[in-house]
Amino acid sequence: MNINATLLNYYQLCHRKMWLHYHAIRMEHTSEVVYEGKLIGEESYPFRADKNEELEISLPLENEKVVLTAKIDFFDAKRGIVHETKKSAAKEWAHVAQLQFYLYLLQKNGVEVSHGVIEYPKLRQTERVILGEADVLRIEASIEKIREVLEQEQCPLKLPISKCKTCSYFEFCWVGDE
């Protein structure tokens, strides 16, 4: 079982969303937002076109049944800084959590890390992210819970509809018998 930052993010949003995504029942192809996101990732910082800075990293957990994986867009190995660009017009907790997950993976792999930086081109702002001890515990607890949910045969229940309005699975989850 591979667990990545997307699953971690979905775990915090909705267990059902995470379960469906993990089983490749995906809706992102219907969403324009993702497409836009891709473009910004590719074009905002053309000087980083050097793909050597990209980093794929993984970490098998003890039982080897679970492997944590990440694709880091830009890692400055000299200074130990992870960079991430977000097209979002607002800062989000999920962005921080994603970077902390990257820092955690690097650290566990014995890589010297300092901190992470999230760039918000639309806001013309950056956010500095560090990985504290409490964060490490939180990440480890989450991973354990994620594994439990993903191992379920059954898809988890829906959230209250008020939380679903902007979710890409909205129609999938809420279409009933009309």
Partner 1 sequence: MKKSYYLFNPGRLSRKDNTLCFVPVDEDGNEGQPRYIPIEGVDNLYCFGSLDANSAMYNFLGKNHVSVHFFDYYEHYTGSFMAKEYLLAGKMQVEQTRHYLSDKKRMVVAKTLVEGAAFNMSKNLKYYQGRGKDVAKQLGQIDSFTPLIANAGGISELMGIEGNIRQAYYGAFGEIINDFDMGNRSKQPPQNEVNALISFGNMMCYTVCLDQIYHTQLNPTISFLHEPGARRYSLALDLSEIFKPMLVDRTIFTVLNKKQLQASDFRQDINRCVLKEGAKKVFVQAFEERLKETFKHRSLGRSVSYKHLVKLECYKLQKHLLGMEVYKPFKMMW
Residues that bind partner 1 (CB under 8 A): 23-26, 29-30, 153-155, 170-172, 174-178
The nearer residue to partner 1, 133 or 153, going by C-beta atoms, is 153
For the CB of residue 165, give the shortest distance to partner 1 in the complex, in Å.
10
Residues 41-80 that bind ligand SF4 (CB under 6 A): none
First to last CA, the chain: 37
Give the residue with the Cβ less far from ligand SF4, 132 or 160: 160
- Residue 29 touches which member of partner 1, ligand SF4, none, C-beta under 5-8 Å by kind: partner 1
Calpha distance 16→174 (Å, rounded) = 13
Task: Give the residue with the Cβ less far from ligand SF4, 3 or 173.
Answer: 173
Classify 58 as helix, strand or coil: strand
**38: Cβ contacts below 8 Å, ≥ 6 apart:** none
CA distances from 1 to 8, 114, 144, 151 (A): 13, 29, 12, 9
Interface contacts to ligand SF4, rule CB under 6 A: 14, 16-17, 158-159, 163-164, 167, 169-170, 173
